[in-house]
Amino acid sequence: MWQKTLKIFQNIFVYSFAYIWYFAIYLVIIPYLVLIVGKNLDILLFDYILNLSLGYSNLYLIVSIVLATIGIILILWSFVTLYFYSHSFPLSFFPFPGFNPKRLSTYGPYSLVRHPMVLGYLILITAIGFYNGSLMTVVWIVPILGFVFYEYIKNREERRLSLWFGKEYDEYRKKTPILLPKILKK
């Protein structure tokens, strides 16, 4: 009886700790660093080197709202699909067995790309760049961040998923792109 209660509290603590770190890193730390670096690169390049002034327009605001909406919807859709369909928490950098997916998710956004949550996050960071009026964020920081995420996914998550699901994942990987959906099918 006490062991079961202790196990429940232990799971609550572990999951709470994981959620706090997950949200702190991806919703506070990375966006803040992207804003700071992107804005400072804009100031350095356009104000000091090129002596240009980039004005902020309402178009930036509209584009940022549209992109943020798309990114948030894609992230939430992916999260809900992964949680309910695969019975897992989308947090791969914690080695807890409770976070491992119980089955391969090929449904919903996972039928379009293998990592739709990362795609949604990159869209959201792009929206933050437009909202901040930072051309350097959109042109340089987001592609660099996308490359870093791509390398992490390819070298870490893809290997784990291949180990967990074997041939099923290899078949899924052959027919589904990693980050950018195929718009036109042959």
**Maximal CA-CA distance, the chain:** 71
Q: What is the mean pLDDT of the chain?
A: 81
pLDDT of 154 higher than 70: yes
20, 27 contact by CB (below 8 A): no
CB atoms within 10 A of CB 133: 18
Alpha helices in the chain (DSSP H): 2-24, 30-42, 58-85, 116-132, 135-136, 142-152, 158-165, 167-175
- Among the residue ranges 31-45, 85-99, 164-178, the one predicted with the least confidence is 85-99
Confidence label for 72 from pLDDT (cuts 50, 70 and 90):
very high
pLDDT of 114 higher than 70: yes
This prediction has a pTM of: 0.78
